[in-house]
């Protein structure tokens, strides 16, 4: 089963995503994509580590190239999050590249090779504000990634004020 969890900033996506796998008894992997740049990132990373402490996740820090990862067939994977992954891939070499195909290939590979896959993403395109061309390109790419994932996901959930709302399929609990 593949679940896409999306929503705005601080809306409960992480907690909901982790709860999707709370009853999974085999190996659970947590792909952390946030690079530790600055105090705010370090605080967010620590907050997420505390949230998943005692939830039996094996954490993999992987900022780019998720297509390189291999997981056991009967495992569960939580990826947090496609927004960070896209930014890491898109801007890492000092020049803007289009990594959408590469990211989608990695996500699909994981999705087809594990029992449960929960993908956390962000809703960044609904505020109606025009940003710099680089930011607008990022928003376009992330929106495309979210649409492509939702095509094959069994469940798409949007978290609104801490409340998960099913947009496709049934919520896992």
pLDDT digits (tens, 9 = 90+) for 111-146: 999 999 999 999 988 877 888 999 999 999 999 999
Domains of the chain: 2-168 (3.40.50.300)
Structure confidence by residue, pLDDT tens digits, 15-43: 999 999 999 999 999 999 988 888 988 88
User: What does the chain come to in residues?
Assistant: 173
Residue 49 has a pLDDT of: 78
Q: Counting beta carbons within 10 angstroms of the beta carbon of residue 126, is it exposed (0 to 12), middle (13 to 18) or buried (19 or more)?
A: exposed
Return phi, psi of residue 124, to 5°: -125, 5
Nearest to 15 by CA among 161, 145, 148, 169: 161
pLDDT by residue (tens digit) across 89-118?
999 877 888 999 999 999 999 999 999 999
pTM, full prediction: 0.93
The answer to whether the CB of 39 falls within 8 A of the CB of 154 is: no
Bigger pLDDT: 89 or 54? Answer: 89
């Amino acid at each position: 089963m593949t679940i896409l969890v999306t929503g705005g900033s601080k809306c409960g996506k992480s907690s909901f995503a982790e709860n999707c796998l709370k009853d999974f008894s085999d190996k659970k992997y947590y792909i952390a994509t946030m690079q530790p740049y600055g105090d705010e990132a370090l605080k967010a990373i620590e907050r997420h580590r505390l949230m998943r402490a005692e939830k039996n996740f094996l954490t993999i820090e992987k900022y780019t190239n998720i297509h390189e990862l291999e997981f056991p067939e009967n495992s569960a994977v939580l990826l947090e999050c496609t927004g960070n992954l896209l930014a890491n891939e898109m801007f890492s070499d000092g020049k803007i590249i289009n990594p959408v195909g590469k990211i989608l290939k990695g996500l699909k590979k994981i999705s087809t090779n594990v029992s449960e896959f929960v993908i956390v993403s962000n809703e960044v395109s609904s505020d109606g504000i025009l940003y710099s061309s680089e930011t607008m390109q990022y928003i376009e790419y992330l929106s495309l990634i979210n649409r492509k994932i939702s095509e094959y996901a069994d469940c798409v959930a949007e978290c609104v004020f801490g409340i998960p709302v099913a947009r496709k399929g049934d919520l896992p609990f």
